[in-house]
Structure 1
Amino acid sequence: MSNSSSSGLNLLSFSGKTKVLHLTWFAFFLSFAVWFNHAPLMASIRDTFGLSDQEVKTLLILNVALTIPARIVIGMLVDQFGPRLVYALLLVISGVLCLLFATADSFETLALFRFLLGFVGAGFVIGIRLISEWFPAKQLGVAEGIYGGWGNFGSAAAALSLPSIALLFGGPEGWRYAVGLTGVIAMAYAFVFYRSVRNTPKGSTYFKPKKAGAMEVTSYGDLALYIFMKAPLLAALALLAWKLGPANLSVLSFGVTTAIYAVLAGLYAYQVFYILKINLPALKKPIADIHKYEFRQVAVLDLAYLVTFGSELAVVSMLPLFFMDTFEMSAVAAGAVGASFAFMNLLARPVGGLFSDKFGRKKMLVLLLGGLSFGYFGMSQIDATWFLPLAVVMTMTCSFFVQAGEGAVFAAVPLIKRRLTGQIAGMVGAYGNIGGVTFLTVLSFVSPQIFFLVIAAAAVLTLVITQLFMREPAGTMAEVLPDGTVQMIEVA
């Protein structure tokens, strides 16, 4: 990306970097609509298949599980092959999976394709790298916030529109047509995106990692922390296997569950081996200070995204059904009210990014985590005795801090190490899904009120960690051009 500053961000323009921003947030919008097209239709899906309460919750958890490894893999692919190709392929594949989910004929088939559809959630990582190539540091927070916020609104758009589309097609299985339609639109847009977007502005270099397969670190302490932070990525999948295993839902047998544990342990051992293989030879040589970065910055943002986006994933998945059961509403009305949580994405996430650009990444993240904890505490008090409009206001207030917090996290992600942005975004994004799986698993054992309190407590803990260990991005970061020239990129 060029280091030259820009005078302003004209969102009404459809040329240059603004065109790329609009095309990219809409790709993310469609991916989110596909990813959460089941949530507002869950009551109809439940009736079609006669699902139990635990089977419904299983589908919600499965929907966010595969995104954990997918975001790591997609982050590596983006850094290696560029956002243009990877985003187009992701939209086509997810569209096909969407159609397969729409034609499912059993709970097992529903579960399989809902699990595979978690792949589409990795789309977020692609745009983070693409936007960082086109926008300077002083506009990056607001640009990433618009990308994430307007794109995240896809889940709200699905909640608002799909129940009505299902009714339009008619019959008890109108949900199949509504779900399938989102897949067809995603596949069509993949071709538009591929033809219309470039990875970088003309004349700019697309920096790639020196080695693929693991993130490069610049100290032995960072190496140990990186290995430690890899463990929860597989532990979350082990938690899912336990939830589906004989100890809980009995969807998986004891033998299959044990085999999954063994495979996950083997994968972790292999990842540790590969991390050491990539990094130990480089660490034996002195690393110039200008090429160093602190991995703890990544670790703090991992945890911050766990409680912001992780809680959003969980709440967006359960909120329509929560309002329907709490206030005895219709599916259409509950979908609209449930969408109020994601609706705030349009404003809050760009605001989180904008304020981070203006007032500091760390300061804003700490403040927003504090607001988020109070918001979830307020939501934990909602029950049938509440005045419905007040419940909606409480939900939207909490949502503002959640989405703005997400914007603050990704205002900092691209400012750590440019050539690793896809991998860093992939890891941070995957931690969001760890939060989704963890919080939804908690929900399967407790009441919604306790579920909201657990998220509030996690936010307070993360606030303390952020205050203690996060460092405000400052100065410049160095990247090496193909001819060996060092380019300095401003991060403040």
Structure 2
Amino acid sequence: MNGKATRIELLSLRTPQMRAFHLSWMAFFVCFFAWFACAPLMPVLKGEFHLTPAQIANINIAAVAVTILVRLVIGPMCDRFGPRKTYTALLALGAIPVLGVALARNYETFLVFRLLIGAVGASFVITQYHTSVMFAPNVVGTANAASAGWGNAGGGVAQGAMPLLLAAVLMLGVDHALGWRLALLVPGVLMLAMAALYWRYAQDCPQGNYAELRARGIAIDSGKKGGWDSFRAASANYRVWLLFITYGACFGVELFIHNVAASYYVDRFGLSLGSAGMAAASFGLLALFARALGGWLSDKVARRRGLDARTTLLFVLILGEGLGLLWFAHADHFALALAAMLAFGLFTHMACGATYALVPFIDRKALGGVAGIIGAGGNVGAVAAGFLLKGLGNLQLTLSVLGLVAVGAALCAIAIRFSADHKASEQALYDNALAN
């Protein structure tokens, strides 16, 4: 496996594998924090820009729409340029609209900045790519899920931290009109700092950086197909599109909940901005352990029953998500709604982890394309949910429909099958990794 790690040593930064692990989840955390920093402040922004429900729906759609395109191209870019250069560029360039949103003066300019900020959501693909090329088959599911889960928690932290940050700024005597702008500068500064760290301390794969390896004529274990070839190979694989749908059903719902949860608790249950933010944050903070749990379980069942067990687990998790979402949609009291959100949130995050525990086994020669297309599925799901809400005009009804859609999408997981040759090849790689 060309130096891929067979163990996850959390307290170590000595190896390039563990540096990549920690840097990738921290970069994703910062990006996710920046991506959803505006969401918990929407009750304030609604008054600032006199936003209508239709305009708020457009903003929520814009926040996740552009990520679809960027995720499709960012995976092949990792194959071509390596995750180190790709991540550094995304962090540095993505910081521009994150900082710029503080300059928004009306609905139109805010919408444009929110659209551009969505590009940083592609950070997820790079994180999953980087851990996939650094870890062996016996632990790659856990590594992918843990790095994604801890990074994903940035969205939950943003839900709770941004209202507190705004409150701290207001305590200094600043008014609301300037306070939210100052608060939103923090994520942009964090992104620039993370870009510098990634460039300085990360490397592309266990052997080194892609450009240097290619210059020396050394074969790269991942990224054998780059750019368009990677995308074309991935798009021709039916398993990729089935996972595209399942990821839309789990991560798409997650993104949708991040955008609407705080406002939902304010409007439906009359909570204060701070209390609603903390309630919404509890959903995102499940990612701290639930994604990793999904990946760990996927690795665990695969050791006993192979690749097919990974798909069966994914089916069970998405089914549980759909049923829990239906419960959440019909909860009439805050306590019940919070319990239901935590229940379906657990299944949702675990399903996300179990999905990307499968990604490294779909097509190793086109890993970037596979990761990018499946990652884009999450945003397609979020955009579809946004349009559904806009069309129905009722959040509870929208949540009910999404629950039914998730139940149906679970069937895609059990439709994924692998040939005997593919299973034998993966088993050989697994045995070889443990032997070394």
Q: Please state if 1:198 is matched with 2:203.
A: yes
1:213 lines up with 2:228 in the alignment: yes
**Deviation readout 1:234-263 (Å, 9 max, x if unpaired):** xxxxxxxxxxxxxxxxxxxxxxxxxxxxxx
Query: 2:2–2:207: 8 Å Cα contact kept in structure 1?
Result: no
Cα deviations by residue, 1:338-364 (Å, 9 ceiling, x for unpaired) = 111111111110000000001131121
Separation in 2, partners of 1:476, 1:445: 47
* Separation of aligned partners in 1, 2:36 and 2:4: 38
SS in 1 for 2:8: coil
1:159-212 CA-partner distances (Å, limit 9, x unpaired): 111111112111212111111111011111100111011111137835334453
Q: 1:313-351, CA deviations, whole angstroms, 9 ceiling, x for partnerless residues? A: 111100100011111111111111011111111111000
Question: What TM-score does the superposition give when structure 2 sets the normalisation length?
Answer: 0.88
TM-fit CA distance, 1:394:
1.1
Say whether 1:476 aligns with 2:425: yes
* Cross-structure match for 2:47: 47
* Runs (5+) with no aligned partner, structure 1: 228-294, 479-487
Rounded Cα–Cα distance in structure 1 between residues aligned with 2:65 and 2:231: 26
* Separation (CA, whole Å) in 2 of partners of 1:426 and 1:47: 37
| Counterparts in 2 of 1:306 and 1:216: CA distance versus 1, 3 Å | closer
For residue 474 of structure 1, give the secondary structure of its aligned residue in structure 2. helix
Q: Is 1:369 equivalent to 2:373 in the alignment?
A: no
- C-alpha contact 1:155 1:342 (8 A) present in aligned 2: yes
Please show how residues 11-410 of structure 1 align to structure 2 within 5 Å: 11-16=10-15, 17-170=17-170, 171-173=175-177, 174-202=179-207, 205-210=220-225, 212-215=227-230, 226=235, 295-359=237-301, 360-383=309-332, 386=333, 388-410=334-356
- Runs (4+) of structure 1 exceeding 6 A deviation are none
In the alignment, which residue of structure 2 is the partner of 1:449? 396
SS of the counterpart of 1:213? helix
User: How many angstroms does 1:215 deviate by?
Assistant: 3.7
Q: Per-residue displacement from partner, 1:144-173 (whole Å, max 9, x unpaired)?
A: 011110000001111111111112111212
Aligned mates of 1:216, 1:35 — CA distance in 2: 25
Which is richer in helix?
2
TM-score of the pair, normalised by structure 1: 0.79
8 Å Cα contact 2:222/2:367 also seen in 1: no
Q: 1:344 to 1:44 in 2, by over 3 A?
A: same
- 1:168–1:414 distance in 2 versus 1, CA, 3 Å: same
For 2:366 and 2:76, locate their aligned partners in 1 and report how far apart those are by CA, in whole Å.
9
Q: 1:273 matched to which residue of 2? A: none
Using the alignment, how far apart are the partners of 1:180 and 1:216 within structure 2?
35
Secondary structure of 2:383's aligned partner = helix
Unpaired segments of 5 or more residues in structure 2? 209-218, 302-308
Give, in whole Å, the separation in 2 of the partners of 1:382 and 1:127.
35
Distance of 1:185 and 1:371 partners within structure 2: 36
Post-superposition offset of 1:217: 6.1
Q: Give the letter for the 2:289 counterpart.
A: L
Q: Does 1:458 align with 2:400?
A: no
Aligned length: 406
> Which has the bigger relative contact order, CA under 8 A and spacing at least 6?
2
Distance 1:297 1:3, change over 3 A: farther
**Stretch moving more, 396-405 or 416-425:** 416-425
> Does the CA-based 8 Å contact 1:382-1:449 persist in structure 2?
no
Contact 1:199 1:206 in 2 (8 A): no
- Distance between the aligned counterparts of 1:337 and 1:437, measured in 2? 23
CA distance in 2, matches of 1:154, 1:136: 27
CA contact (8 A) 1:95 1:184 kept: yes
Contact 1:76 / 1:213 at 8 angstroms: preserved in 2?
Answer: yes
Contact 2:326 2:403 in 1 (8 A): yes
Q: Percent identity?
A: 32
